[in-house]
A and B are shown apart, each in its own frame.
Chain A
Amino acid sequence: MSELLQFLLSGVTVGAVYALVALGFTIIYNASDVVNFAQGEFVMLGGMITVMAYTAGAPLPLAALVAILVTAALGVAMNKLAIEPARGAPVVSLVIITIGASIFIRGAAQLIFGKQIHSFPAFSGDDPFRILEATILPQSLWVIGGAVAVFIGLWLFFTRTLLGRAVLATSNNRLAAQLVGINTPFVMTLSFALSAGIGALAGVLVTPITMTSYDVGLAFALKGFAAAMLGGMGNPKGALVGGFVLGVLEGLTAGYISSQYKDAAAFIVILGVLFFLPQGLFGRKSTDRV
């Protein structure tokens, strides 16, 4: 029983990270129909840049802030330099571009940060809390709290602010949004900044637990994608739920089957969704216009 609870708690922690990555996917997908395979690199950059700023002597909160802002700026740059010039290209070309951007960022990170594994101290120490017979690290609470806070923040942004509604309108119908005077290029910029910033935040929060290196992005991208698909592509609530479900599945796989194959959980989820539930848990059907 305590074992199960322990697996669940660690599952929820990683699940929160996957939820954040999935939310990042969702924002860009909704604004532009682009599936951004470089989403995981934002997580890596968030952790890595914090490490760099922290080792350079910045206090941890400042280092984290710098990492998030720099990553958001890189996200915007990626949109301007790689996505926008290819607007209207077929899906395959866009997949190649975002995968290319992802490999490029990874290669650059390897040159700048080296191949070592990095970390920085947890925000509130390493003394675990006891919950019944299981334990949870304070940093895990930061991660879970972060995911929930981001979700609520996004929800308020999209439903309560004019700007957020403009983004939603653009995702519903790009042309109509332009016609009513919404600045769609700005919406794209904003989406990439938000998405990259959220990815970076995930990296900042989780690095004290899992540590980071230049090549962790791909796994995060795959799992964030699995979470987004499980929830239903384009649905923020689905992304959140999908992330936690995937995290728990992974935690249970690691605990009861094999820790070496915990990463397989994401793949099984992807295939399962594609086989049996192509619209995801909260997805809606789409219709092509001819």
Chain B
Amino acid sequence: MTLLSIEGLGISFGGLKAVNNVSFGVKPGEIVSVIGPNGAGKTTLFNMISGVYQPGSGKVILNGEDVTAMSPHLLARRGMCRTFQNLQVFQSMTVLENTIAGYHLQEGGSVLADILNLPASRRRAKTAEAGARTLLKRVGLERAAEREAGSLSYGSLKRLEIARALALQPRVLLLDEPAAGCNAVETEEIDHLIAEIAASGVAILLIEHDMKMVMRISNHIVVLDHGEKIAEGDPTTVSRNPDVIAAYLGTENAAG
């Protein structure tokens, strides 16, 4: 039943334990959020799950297969895709092209067909373009399709990354702060979008700082502090956990 399971994942940088022995699972259609103060190791955890970093210990199991430290392009083939906290869009390509890039795997095809501009190559490109336009409509970027991605606002780029990830038709989607830098209206839009994606059966793993959003949409929350899992459970349980309040929510409330 569990689609993605994280088993005792850990990594050290220069002797410092950035993430230590973290375990949890994500089921299809479920939204699991990873929260914690800055520097708690959330993005590092994502980087290990998505094959960017090689974990020092532990395993990542995707659909029953051990995919620990597997290269991101192979993970993509197995249905895992992610977005990035600090945005990784293809700046000099158009919004449409960025989204079409997500169809790379489905396009398949050979270089030879591409270089000779054979009908098969053009047909594949056409199919991908049609799909990409539909996706852009879904994330509300259809009017920006022909613009260079570098010229977009931060919030729009976040949505572009989601569209590109959706193009892969992932079974597991890792979203790293999708609502960061977005205004209230945009946040709500992204909120709906994520719920909608989950409803279609995708397992979603989310890092987010907007606590209201996390509490609203998560089925399950994992709390990290100093690289360790200090609590997990449904939003109500977690928000009442004294450790969590001390480590995170408490300071947040005091500050805000």
A interface residues (Cβ-Cβ under 8 A, vs B): 287-288, 290
Contact = CB atoms under 8 A, between A and B. Distances in A.
Chain B interface mostly: loop
Interface of B: 13, 43, 47, 52-53, 84, 86, 88
A287 B51 CA distance: 12
B252 to A, nearest CB: 25
6 contacts: A287-B13, A288-B52, A290-B47, A290-B52, A290-B84, A290-B86
Contacts of B86: 290
A89 to B, nearest CB: 15
Nearest to B11: A287
Contacts of A290: 43, 47, 52, 84, 86, 88
Nearest to A172: B14
B84 to A, nearest CB: 6
A290 B177 CA distance: 13
Nearest to A287: B53
A287 B47 CA distance: 11
Contacts of A287: 13, 53
B39 to A, nearest CB: 14
Given A290-B43, A290-B52, A290-B84, 4 more contacts: A287-B13, A287-B53, A290-B47, A290-B88
B72 to A, nearest CB: 10
Nearest to B14: A172
Contacts of A288: 52
Nearest to B82: A290
A288 B53 CA distance: 8
Nearest to B43: A290
A288 B51 CA distance: 12
B124 to A, nearest CB: 29
8 nearest A-B pairs in the assembled complex, by CB-CB distance: A290-B52, A290-B47, A287-B53, A290-B84, A288-B52, A290-B86, A290-B88, A287-B13
Contacts of B88: 290
Contacts of B84: 290
A288 B43 CA distance: 13
A290 B85 CA distance: 8
A63 to B, nearest CB: 46
Contacts of B47: 290
B90 to A, nearest CB: 14
Contacts of B13: 287
A287 B69 CA distance: 13
Nearest to B84: A290
Nearest to B85: A290
B221 to A, nearest CB: 24
B12 to A, nearest CB: 11
A290 B88 CA distance: 9
A104 B84 CA distance: 42
A287 B44 CA distance: 12
A287 B53 CA distance: 7
A163 B47 CA distance: 36
A287 to B, nearest CB: 6
A287 B88 CA distance: 17
